[in-house]
Homo-oligomer: A and B are copies of this chain.
Amino acid sequence: MHKGRLEAFSDGVIAILITIMVLELKVPHGDGLADLVPMLPVLSSYLLSFVFLGIYWNNHHHLLQAARHVDGRILWANMHLLFWLSLVPFTTAWLGEHPFAPGPVAAYGFVLLASGCAYFILSRLLIARHGAESVLARAVGADRKGLLSVALYATAIGLATVAPRVSCALYVAVAVLWLVPDRRIERVLSE
């Protein structure tokens, strides 16, 4: 089975998700620049989710590049990841309408947490398929950054009721952590 169509389908879904979030940016009624100020929370949550989906696309790109084979289980693990990512526009819109409210903050983190776990499962299935000695296995490694992200998401969810602003700061921190491109895979591949 070729990985090309899996990549193309995933790219399509992520491209659509990253784009339809913009449909939540409702045009203000007024016509002054000051009318954009109340939109800042919506714009900020859009920016944050744009970065998160960009990170997933980027890492997915690297992961699949190192892969040689896909099978039915991997197709479904990928679909599972896409399912959780598909809920990002929903939690983004909710968070944008109720900035720093505990419910949306926790829901936003939960979807990120589930996406992180789905990505972890996908990478483990790919490693199991390619063998522990494969380029892919060495490139992914222990995936400490992935595990750290999941831990930070869980912490942020736990803090959502008591300190939702700290939770949001943790989401931003994870995004910054990943904006540094994943040099491990690039390094191993170029060896």
- Interface contact B7-A5, CB-CB below 8 Å: yes
A23 and B2 alpha carbons, distance in the complex (Å): 31
Cβ contacts under 8 Å, A65 to chain B: 1-2
Q: Mark A53-97, 1 if CB is under 8 A from B, else 0.
A: 010011001000100000111011001001100110110011001
- Interface contact B90-A25, CB-CB below 8 Å: yes
Chain A residue total in the interface (Cβ 8 A): 62
Number of copies of chain A assembled together: 4
What's the least CB distance linking A38 to chain B, in Å? 13
Cβ contacts under 8 Å, A94 to chain B: 27-28, 31
Q: Is A170 an interface residue (CB 8 A)?
A: no
Residues of A within 8 A of B (CB): 1-2, 5, 7-9, 11-20, 22-23, 25, 27-28, 30-36, 47, 50, 54, 57-58, 61, 65, 71-73, 75-76, 79, 82-83, 86-87, 89-90, 93-94, 97-98, 101-104, 106-107, 179, 181-183, 186
